Amino acid sequence: MTNPRQPPDVFDLQPDPRILPMLGEITLPQWRCLAEFIDNSVDAFLSAKRAGHEVTTPEIHISVPTADSPTARVTVTDNGSGMDPATLEKAVRAGWTSNDPIHNLGLFGMGFNIATARLGSVTKVWTTRAGDHEWCGLEIDFDALVRQRHFRTPRLTRAKVDPHEHGTEVTVERLKPEQRQWFSKTANRTKLTNMFEVAYSSMLRANGVPISFALRLNGTAVRGRSHCVWGAEGSPPRQVATTRYGVVSAHQPIHVDLQPRSFCVKCWQWLPPDDEKCPACDSPDNVVVRQRSVHGWLGIQRYVSDTEYGIDFVRNGRKIETDNKDLFLWDGGGKVEPEYPIDDPRNRGRIVGEIHIDHCRVTYTKDRFERSDAAWEEMVGIIRGAGPLRPDRAGELGFGLNSSPLFLLFQAFRRNNPHSKVAGAYGKLLVVKDNDAATAMAKRFYAGEAEYQTDAKWWELVEEADRELLTPPTPLPVPGSGGGLPGFGPPTAPTPGAPPVPQPAAPPAPPKRQPIASLSREYRDHASGLRWEIRAFQAMSGDPMLPNGAPWALKATPAGVHEFFVDVAHPVFRSATLTPLDALLSELAWSAMDFLRTRRPDVTFASVVASLREAYAGASRLDPVGLSGEASTVLSTVARSLARSVGPEDGRALFGELSPAEQDAVHQRMAGRSVRNPQSVITEGRFLEYAPRDTLVRFVERHPELFFDGRHWDAPYASLDFERPSATDAARAQVVAYYVALMRDAVWLAEQDSVDLEAASRPRLLRAALALELLAGEPEEPGEQ
């Protein structure tokens, strides 16, 4: 690190050495500090690849302290090509950067200095190339530099055992006390692993982009974290047919090549299209023509979450932003409107993706893309198109056709719960009914368990939910009942006068059992520490596993799996308060209590049952907030169905039938939602979407012919005919009264304050919840929401 003398008429603006330790005051999380070192190693691998001597098995090893000791240190080593002394000197110089900000991760020379100063006060860097006879190194001692008032530090060497060895080693010593304490905690080291799994996931996989490398933290391999999405590798394509947008795949690949642009590698800025020299440095020497593309994918996650969804944005292989939700917002000229998820009362989503934008600028801390960069806006247009994602809102604002990947996914999969509980409803949305079960399986996916890498187990749950909607659960055929099983049926009458024919004894038929995917999973009890891997089966009465007419049984197998057999047709399940899941959880609770009887006498059966239900029976929980949101969705679906049943003249006439107060309320709501063409909304028969809910109920009561006989509900109304007009009118009135009563229960749910709903009685909530189930109409086509 030289500091040449300057002529007396020249100012020396070299910074004071005190600037280096001050860099440590910049807030940078521990994982980002280590990521700076990883980035430099990745750049070394990429440089070697571009130079034609690619590293065969690129590896990076990180060692962090496991105890709060004064001698603790952080070390990062790689097997890259190494550096010569001149390159090493520049690589650690404050403010220096390479001349290639296009292909590299280590964008800023300051990053290395900030990271080392943040962790400790002494940094040693050793590097060597294949064929060198020794390691070359240097030491940066911040305290010593401050005392000596200059940046000069001696060149160090050390012996090299293997002349073919190559790579770089960075060690930070004299760690700050707070850093030693942080690294010494096991949970924090786990956080490091988790962050690296996500940030470098595209390069920690086989066939990584733009390169693959192995990463180890304290000797343990760090695996790239993949997204748990439908249609993943090894799974069949998952698609849904929509009327308006055709077949929409749950996995949307993206690759758009953009026009090349001139770029100044010195000033790091794009040039105007016709400029050949940089306006900032006034030179053409640093201008290159840069290729640009937006590539990656968007998809649908196999579970919904209030945090684990969104888009990852990647630069040169490293994820800069994860689970970002900015593209789910519509900025209508300063008024930002959330568009996804807007149909889930708990704001849970499942649209995810990875978008590579290598040409877009990032902040110096590499935690965010620059939103002011024109390249960012260009990417937004490719991923979500122009205008709102909501078609009705886009139409109101005059935007045309949108075929962007995010728009298509939004139309087909925006909902996390079917509006209409009819057969096929869950399959059309790719939604698992029991999200707790879907989330639990996702944890096994992330843990790398082979049988959870495809989406087959999630699809089993979808199919089971749709089968339940198709027909109620029915018992399997009983031997001798004529149910159609081979070898069973009514006895054949002998022919009169014929001698008896001896019949050979037929081997007993194996019991018929049907797997129950929704109950087959891992269950854990925290009090006992017991774990059960359950494989559940629907069995019929008389199954040898259900002796003496028992409704269910739990059996351990030699393989360690527990099999649960249940006769769903048993009279005990005709109760409104007992389900096969309740039976299984009670059996597991009994098993836990048997284990704890002498070990933990303080644990009660009641507490174990309550804990298991809290963990695994969430789908049956009466959630007032969720019910309220579902009620709003159901009523909105009824309101939207009118537009499918009326023509332009009918729309205006029906709106004219509303009272002046009702019309005013509709206009006010349209104004509040910035509807630009209210007359079009009225003509199309969409005004009910803006009407108060009581108005909607009264409208259905006045015009039942627009909602029954398959228009929204399948129930007959106009088609009812009892030959006598009075009988027909009475039957029709009964149909209308029945559905109006259900709608009033839904209105009560939708409009009650959350505090009042929490205080509502269980029977009242149950009645309203059942009303939502009974109000299910014809399934709304995906893409027509």
Q: What is the pLDDT of residue 477?
A: 45
Strands annotated E in 426-560: 513-515, 522-524, 531-539, 552-556
Residue 259 has pLDDT above 90, yes or no: no
505 part of a folded domain:
no
Residue 486 has pLDDT above 50, yes or no: no
Segment 113-127 mean pLDDT = 90
Segment 266-289 mean pLDDT = 77
Q: Based on the domain organization, do 247 and 393 belong to the same domain?
A: yes
Give the pTM. Answer: 0.80
Segment 170-176 mean pLDDT = 95
292 part of a folded domain:
yes
Secondary structure (3-state) at 480 = coil
Kindly report, residue by residue over 327-347, the tens digit of the pLDDT. 999 987 778 889 999 888 888
Q: Based on the domain organization, do 670 and 725 belong to the same domain?
A: yes
Q: Based on the domain organization, do 161 and 251 belong to the same domain?
A: no
Least confident of 111-120, 252-261, 446-455, 688-697: 111-120
Which tops the pLDDT comparison, 77 or 549? 77
311 part of a folded domain:
yes
Residue-wise DSSP of 527-595: TT--EEEEEEEEE-TT-TTSGGG-SEEEEE-TTSEEEEEE-TTSGGGGSTT--HHHHHHHHHHHHHHHH
CATH number at 158 reads: 3.30.565.10
* Domain ranges, residue 565: 511-618
Which tops the pLDDT comparison, 511 or 321? 321
Q: Based on the domain organization, do 628 and 683 belong to the same domain?
A: yes
| Average pLDDT of the chain, as a whole number | 86
Segment 569-586 mean pLDDT = 89
Last residue of a domain, one of 618, 637, 667: 618
Q: Based on the domain organization, do 125 and 269 belong to the same domain?
A: no
Which tops the pLDDT comparison, 759 or 308? 308
Q: What is the pLDDT of residue 478?
A: 39
Residue 40's alpha-carbon distances to 81, 128, 194, 203, 312, in angstroms, are 12, 15, 20, 14, 22
Question: Do residues 329 and 339 lie in contact, with contact meaning Cβ atoms separated by under 8 Å?
Answer: yes
* Rounded Cα gap, residues 490 and 508, in angstroms: 16
Q: What is the pLDDT of residue 283?
A: 79
Q: Based on the domain organization, do 685 and 728 belong to the same domain?
A: yes
Last residue of a domain, one of 599, 618, 637: 618
Kindly report, residue by residue over 374-406, the tens digit of the pLDDT. 889 999 999 999 889 988 788 777 888 899 999
Number of domains in the chain: 4
191 part of a folded domain:
yes
Residue 426 has pLDDT above 50, yes or no: yes
* Rounded Cα gap, residues 741 and 750, in angstroms: 14
Last residue of a domain, one of 618, 651, 686: 618
Kindly report, residue by residue over 582-636, the tens digit of the pLDDT. 999 999 999 999 898 888 888 889 999 999 998 898 877 888 888 888 888 889 8
Question: Do residues 531 and 552 lie in contact, with contact meaning Cβ atoms separated by under 8 Å?
Answer: no
Confidence of residue 476 (pLDDT cuts 50, 70, 90): very low
Segment 724-734 mean pLDDT = 91
Question: Do residues 167 and 56 lie in contact, with contact meaning Cβ atoms separated by under 8 Å?
Answer: no
491 part of a folded domain:
no
Least confident of 161-165, 189-193, 220-224: 161-165
